[in-house]
């Protein structure tokens, strides 16, 4: 158990809909990352927050957005969903914002868009 | 831009045999190097990391990796594998600066049979 929790574990929704994925980082970790894992794209970095502020952006679509709240939990919002958005979405947390800090991964949320 | 290439998508081996999973990276700046393991239906777990110092890094579960700067490689090795090592292995890099995330390779599936 990494200490990172993600809800829900599974999500099935229809095209055009909007969903919210939630992540609670390990106690004491200030940095939260979101990654998308799909068969064709592999593991791709979406976005990073550190202590409530956006720190880095990766291959995140404009239809997707995220935020980190004062209690440090984070939410990833996916809107106007398409079939290609079906993937496993991981949240990871680390103590600091830099690349040397170990990232601890949650179990993921499997999103299926039908 | 940085990239990570895992040269083998699948590696089948017999139990107690040695294994090497190959990883090459491309970057114009210095990076940190990581190997993660993903067991079925689970999140990613850090096996080992190279930040600086000795180029031979030892990790959990008997794995080790060697950083070779001239060949830009970070191959993962284990002298004797077990059935329980069957999993997906990911090589990743991050930049030596704040506000960066992990860039992953496509992964190598290690299948250990008896």
Convert the pLDDT of each residue in A60-106 to its tens digit: 999 999 999 999 999 999 999 999 999 999 999 999 888 888 899 99
Closest chain A C-alpha to B96 CA, distance in angstroms: 6
Q: Indicate the DSSP class of residue B40.
A: T
The pLDDT score that the predictor gives to residue A35 is 96
Pick from A99, A105, A107: which is nearest to B95 by CB?
Answer: A99
**Tokens describing residue A112:** 């299926």
A109 contacts chain B (CB < 8 A):
no
- The set of residues, in sequence order, having a beta carbon less than 8 Å from that of A71 and lying 6+ positions away, is none
Distance CA B114, CA B108 (A): 19
If phi > 0 it is left, if psi is from -120 to 50 it is alpha, else beta; for residue A51 that is left
Residue B84, SS3 per DSSP: helix
Distance CA B75, CA B101 (A): 21
| Buried/exposed code over A6-36 (b: 16+ C-beta within 10 A; e: otherwise) | beeeebebeeeeebebebbbbeebbbbbbbb
Contact B66, B56 (CB under 8 A): yes
Distance CA A86, CA B111 (A): 26
Question: Mind listing the pLDDT tens digit of every residue in chain B (114 residues)?
Answer: 789 999 999 999 999 999 999 999 998 888 899 999 999 888 999 999 999 889 999 999 999 999 999 999 999 999 999 999 999 999 999 987 765 789 999 999 999 999
The pLDDT score that the predictor gives to residue A8 is 97
Contact B76, B91 (CB under 8 A): yes
Q: Are strands A10-13 and A109-113 parallel, antiparallel or unpaired?
A: parallel
Q: Which residues of B touch A95 (CB under 8 A)?
A: none
The pLDDT score that the predictor gives to residue B99 is 57
B51 contacts chain A (CB < 8 A):
yes
Closest chain B C-alpha to A15 CA, distance in angstroms: 25
For residue B66, what is the enclosing H or E element?
A: strand B64-68
Question: What are the pLDDT digits (tens) for A3-26?
Answer: 999 999 999 999 999 999 999 999
Closest chain A C-alpha to B79 CA, distance in angstroms: 25
Question: What are the pLDDT digits (tens) for A30-54?
Answer: 999 999 999 888 999 999 999 999 9
Number of Cβ atoms within 10 Å of the Cβ of B62: 14
**Tokens describing residue B30:** 């210095």
- Could you tell me where the beta strands, DSSP code E, fall in B1-86? 3-6, 10-14, 19-21, 23-26, 31-38, 44-50, 56-58, 64-68, 73-78
A55 vs B100, more confident: A55
């Amino acid at each position: 158990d990494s200490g990172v929790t993600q809800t829900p574990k599974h999500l099935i929704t229809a095209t055009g809909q909007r969903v919210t994925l939630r992540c609670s980082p390990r106690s004491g970790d200030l940095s939260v990352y979101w990654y998308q894992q799909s068969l064709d794209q592999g593991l791709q970095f979406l976005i990073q927050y550190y202590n409530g502020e956006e720190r880095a952006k990766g291959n995140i679509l404009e239809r997707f957005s995220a935020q980190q709240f004062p209690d440090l939990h984070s939410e990833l919002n996916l809107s106007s969903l398409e079939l290609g958005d079906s993937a496993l979405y991981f949240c990871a947390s680390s103590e600091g914002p830099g690349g040397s800090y170990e990232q601890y991964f949650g179990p993921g949320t499997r999103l299926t868009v039908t | 831009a940085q990239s990570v290439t895992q040269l083998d998508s699948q590696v089948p081996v017999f139990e107690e045999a040695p294994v090497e999973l190959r990883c090459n990276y491309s970057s114009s700046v210095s990076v940190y190097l990581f190997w993660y393991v993903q067991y079925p239906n689970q999140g990613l777990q850090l096996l080992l990391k190279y930040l600086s110092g000795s180029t031979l890094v030892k990790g959990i579960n008997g794995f080790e990796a060697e950083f070779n700067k001239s060949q830009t490689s970070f191959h993962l090795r284990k002298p004797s594998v077990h059935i329980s090592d069957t999993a997906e292995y990911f090589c990743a890099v991050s930049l030596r600066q704040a506000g960066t995330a992990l860039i992953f390779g496509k992964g190598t599936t290690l299948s250990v049979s008896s």
